[in-house]
């Protein structure tokens, strides 16, 4: 995993063969559009259903923001809507829950799931680096397993900061690489050798599940991402590792300027 100092301005994902941010974003949009029909199946299968537990834990960690009946919540890169739905279950009826993604095929499935649950969520097509929302609009902005795919990480954090209200919370859940020698070795074997083959077999798209471990290995370490949060103006930045370090939840807030 790279550090902030190694990458300067901390550009985002760079799939093999792309030359700049525009091409990276186009590649990611197309790739996730292709795997959307099997996305949920593979998420649950390849994680042994632990991904559901992780999202419920994020909702519990963010319960303070979700308790307010007037809360406004944005789930970025929402995919098929699982985290937004977890927020909906925790939040009072009056809270505004919005899920955004720039892959329309994902949003089709998110809306289908929300309709089936009679859930009050708005799903919108939007680029996380150029959100169609006013400044200081949301009390909570989250992103689960999507931040890693942004074409520019620093721009992503600054855009989240822009739409957060003073005192608002940012919560980013991302994959990481475990540090332990034994568990880390087993994880890397599964993640780099087994998972790509299973993903290709079930989804019919080998490149997407080769991209996944590659993007995780290139993603900033939790310590480096904490440093980037702070550089972008966030306060109270912290992170917690779950499931032996497979995933990391990053939490930060926008200072309440009225205090």
258 domain-assigned: no
Quote the domain boundaries for residue 90.
4-253
pLDDT digits (tens, 9 = 90+) for 72-99: 999 999 999 999 999 999 999 999 999 9
Per-chain mean pLDDT for the chain: 92
For residue 83, the domain's CATH number is 3.40.50.150
Asked if residue 4 has pLDDT above 70, the reply is no
Q: Of 92, 258, 77, 90, which is closest to residue 171 (Cα–Cα)?
A: 77
213 domain-assigned: yes
- Enter the pTM of the model: 0.92
239 domain-assigned: yes
Whose tokens are 């799939």? That residue is 15
pLDDT at 2: 54
The pair of three-digit structure tokens given for residue 78, joined into one six-digit string? 């929402």
Question: What residues contact residue 31 under an 8 Å CB cut-off, 6+ apart?
Answer: 15, 205, 207, 208, 211
Selected residue with higher pLDDT from 207 and 236: 236
pLDDT digits (tens, 9 = 90+) for 15-60: 988 989 999 999 999 999 999 999 999 888 888 899 999 999 999 9
Strands 247-253 and 235-242, how do they pair?
Answer: antiparallel
C-alpha to C-alpha distance for 25 and 18, rounded to whole angstroms: 9
Asked if residue 6 has pLDDT above 50, the reply is no
């Amino acid at each position: 995993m790279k550090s902030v100092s190694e990458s300067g301005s901390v550009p985002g994902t760079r799939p093999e063969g792309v030359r700049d941010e525009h091409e990276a974003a186009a590649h990611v949009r197309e790739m996730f559009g292709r795997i959307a029909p099997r996305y949920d199946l593979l998420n649950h299968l390849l994680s042994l259903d632990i991904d559901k537990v992780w999202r419920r834990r994020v909702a519990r960690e963010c319960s303070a923001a979700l308790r307010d009946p007037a809360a406004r919540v944005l789930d970025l890169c929402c995919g098929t809507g699982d985290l937004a739905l977890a927020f909906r279950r925790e939040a009072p009826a009056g809270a505004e829950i919005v899920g955004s993604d720039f892959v329309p095929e994902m949003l089709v499935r998110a809306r289908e799931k929300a309709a089936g649950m009679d859930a009050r969520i708005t799903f919108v097509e939007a680029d996380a680096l150029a959100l169609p929302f006013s400044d200081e609009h949301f009390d909570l902005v989250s992103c689960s397993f999507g931040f890693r795919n942004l074409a520019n990480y620093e721009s992503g954090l600054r855009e989240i900061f822009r739409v957060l209200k003073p005192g608002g919370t940012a919560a980013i859940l991302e994959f990481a690489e475990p540090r332990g020698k034994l568990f880390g070795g087993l994880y890397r074997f599964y993640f780099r050798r087994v998972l790509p083959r299973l993903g290709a077999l079930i989804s019919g798209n080998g490149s997407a599940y080769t991209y996944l471990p590659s993007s995780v290995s290139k993603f900033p370490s939790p310590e480096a991402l904490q440093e980037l949060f702070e550089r972008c103006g966030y306060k109270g930045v912290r992170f917690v590792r779950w499931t032996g370090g497979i995933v990391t939840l990053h939490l930060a807030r926008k200072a309440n300027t009225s205090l």
